[in-house]
């Protein structure tokens, strides 16, 4: 059964209150062991006219891969990216609905590995990413604590 993942207030990808963010939302499907989201990237995030900037594509893949930890976990299970590899298969268009799917490949106590794919509405993959995640040091994760109370599922 799929359920919506919580989002933050200010994140560039998922922030509900970020005026320049993408407001991406993901559903966790525990049975499939994956997450899925839909996003339409506006033209002002292009690299070339009509094409999503490669850095934005990488950010979508990175965030999606990292959020695979939330399929069986919560806020305290979040990690940071240690390594990101992106394969750009074809240009990703702006202004069109895109689907992004993430899967957790391996999870340990200090590190994890995940992958994500960005697709056109008919399933053609435009980019793939593979991420190595690591448990952040306390001086980093402690900065996240004030956001915990605002970490919630957007009902909208």
10-41, pLDDT tens digit by residue? 899 999 899 999 999 999 999 998 999 999 99
The pLDDT of residue 156 is above 60: no
* Locus of tokens 């999503």: 52
Q: What is the mean pLDDT of the chain?
A: 92
User: CA-CA distance, 58 to 92, in Å (whole number)?
Assistant: 11
Q: What is the pLDDT of residues 42-98, one digit of tens each?
A: 999 999 999 999 999 999 999 999 999 999 878 788 899 999 999 999 999 999 999
User: CA-CA distance, 56 to 62, in Å (whole number)?
Assistant: 10
Closest CA to 119 of 127, 110, 109: 127
Closest CA to 5 of 120, 125, 108, 102: 102
Q: What are phi and psi of 32, to 5 degrees?
A: -90, -15
Domain locations in the chain?
26-146
- DSSP-based three-state secondary structure for 3: strand
pTM for this predicted structure: 0.94
Sequence-separated (6 or more) residues with CB below 8 Å from residue 32 = none
Q: What is the pLDDT of residue 152?
A: 79
User: CA-CA distance, 131 to 134, in Å (whole number)?
Assistant: 10
Provide CATH code, domain 26-146: 3.10.129.10
Q: How confident is the model at residue 142 (pLDDT cuts 50, 70, 90)?
A: confident
Q: Report how far Cα 111 is from the mean position of its chain's Cα atoms.
A: 17
């Amino acid at each position: 059964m799929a359920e919506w993942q919580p989002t933050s207030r200010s994140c560039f990808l998922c922030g509900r209150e970020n005026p320049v963010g993408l407001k991406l939302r993901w559903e966790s499907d525990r049975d499939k062991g994956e997450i899925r989201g839909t996003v339409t990237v506006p033209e002002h995030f292009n690299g070339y006219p009509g094409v999503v900037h490669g850095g934005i594509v990488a950010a979508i893949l990175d965030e999606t891969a990292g959020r695979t930890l939330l399929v069986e976990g919560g806020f305290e299970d979040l990690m940071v990216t240690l390594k990101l590899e992106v394969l750009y298969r074809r240009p990703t268009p702006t202004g069109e609905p895109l689907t992004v799917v993430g899967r957790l490949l391996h999870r340990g106590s200090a590190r994890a590995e995940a992958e994500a794919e960005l697709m056109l509405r008919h399933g053609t993959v435009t980019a793939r990413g593979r991420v190595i995640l690591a448990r952040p040091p306390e001086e980093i994760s402690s900065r996240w604590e004030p956001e915990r109370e605002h970490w919630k599922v957007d009902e909208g």
